[in-house]
Amino acid sequence: MKGRVVITGLGVCAPNGVGLSNFSHSLSFGISGIRFHQQLADLGFGCQIAGKPEITDLQMDTYFSPLERKGLNSSGLVYGVMAGTDAWGDAGFKPMGKDHPDWDSGIIFGTGILGTDKFRESIYLIDNKKTRRLGSTSVMQTMASGISAYLGGKLGLGNQITTNSSACATGTEAIILGMERIRSGKAKVMLVGSCSDSGPYIWGGFDAMRILPTQYNNDPMRASRPMSATAAGFVPGSGAGALVLESLEHAMARGATIYAEVLGGAVNSGGQRGNGSMTAPNSEAVQRCIKEALSDAKVIYKEVDVINGHLTATSKDAEEIKNWSEALGRSGKDFPYINATKALIGHCLAASGSVEAVASILQFKEGKVFGNNNCSDLHPEILKIVDESKIPLKTISYNSNIIAKASFGFGDVNACVIFKAYKPN
């Protein structure tokens, strides 16, 4: 059991489902969380659709006290606290008492930009010489590590409490960092995940880059089209995903329910060289990352039976499929099943890796491979590499053994993690 790391808790706050059961149901039945947003239309956005979790006042009251809600204006923080708290409870843990923290448990919870709306609100107050009205939580809501700090205080954890940030690779990287800390013996339990703010101040830059679809404002559920010949750009999204990682020894000792095992992972960068750039991955680096993750996991390439790709619904999807094929040395009907969660939730940016990792792991629990929406017209370059039977349009029954999850982010940074169905020895 020494050195083995397992997943004992999951939490999610996604555009198509807040909470595990809602999220799992939506994934199984292809229910989209992408909607038209009048605010984006009013602001003159070309793309007026997005994936945004729908949070009720009742849910807010469940996770935040009236005092905590006062002045709270950070959607990413809200999503992260909800997902992280749920994952901790799902693992069977409770917050520590007031006197001492749990020295063996820590947090690595990433984000891209946190508290944008709160930051904007603060700027206006300062410019109008109303600094004293900022409130005592403005710093916590706008500092990047606010999410890990907030969760650490809520749960009372005393090991490493930190925030990572690697663009769209953030969530997957957080899982790998948490796994490595447990492997090294420096922690027994790590809450890992990532979150992303929602709203025009997050999505506006991408709209200005003209990499978002503009022709689906009246048909939002068809807009996110990973692997499709008619893919027209990624749909912006937001949310949070969270996982509780634990040493197998610790999990067994307390009789925990185990979702899956984290076998290994790797992170790297293409250095923005070759065909890599600030916005595009270096293919050589992507392939090296996948191979290094499999090597770290001690998995033979032929053993991977499901891939949850990064697959953003851009022209780079075919390139990603080619990279998977080259890295695994597999094609046609020998290619693993592959799916793209972004078809239903959009691209949740820094939260994408963790939300999609939760989706990946739920496939073990449900005995399924979730379907791929909006890609009945598969890109012809993809069809040259993969048999269409390996890209199921609808959810199928399948008992996965090895699932590979990868994320590729702005700045030419990559992360790949390998999950395995848990089987007691």
Q: What is the pLDDT of residue 115?
A: 76
Q: What is the pLDDT of residue 423?
A: 87
Nearest to 226 by CA among 85, 356, 375: 375
> Cα angle vertex 157, ends 266, 67, to 5°?
115
Q: CA 174 to CA 164: how far, in whole Å?
A: 7
Query: What SS3 class is residue 130?
Result: coil
Nearest to 63 by CA among 84, 44, 42, 49: 84
Q: What is the pLDDT of residue 70?
A: 85
Tokens of 213: 């679809």
Tokens of 224: 């996110």
Chunk the chain into consecutive blocks of 10 residues (it has 425) and report each block's average pLDDT, rounded to whole numbers.
Answer: 91 98 98 98 97 95 90 89 98 95 98 81 64 67 88 97 97 98 97 96 93 97 97 97 98 97 98 93 97 97 97 95 98 98 98 98 98 97 98 98 97 97 87
Nearest to 26 by CA among 54, 56, 58, 62: 54
Residues taking part in catalysis: 168, 310, 347
How many Cβ atoms from other residues are within 10 Å of residue 256's Cβ? 20
- Asked if 421 and 365 count as a contact pair (C-beta separation under 8 A), the reply is no
Q: What is the pLDDT of residue 399?
A: 97
Q: What is the pLDDT of residue 336?
A: 98
* Residue given tokens 């690595």 in the structure block: 108
Model confidence, pTM: 0.96
- Which domains, and CATH codes, for the chain? 5-253 (3.40.47.10), 265-421 (3.40.47.10)
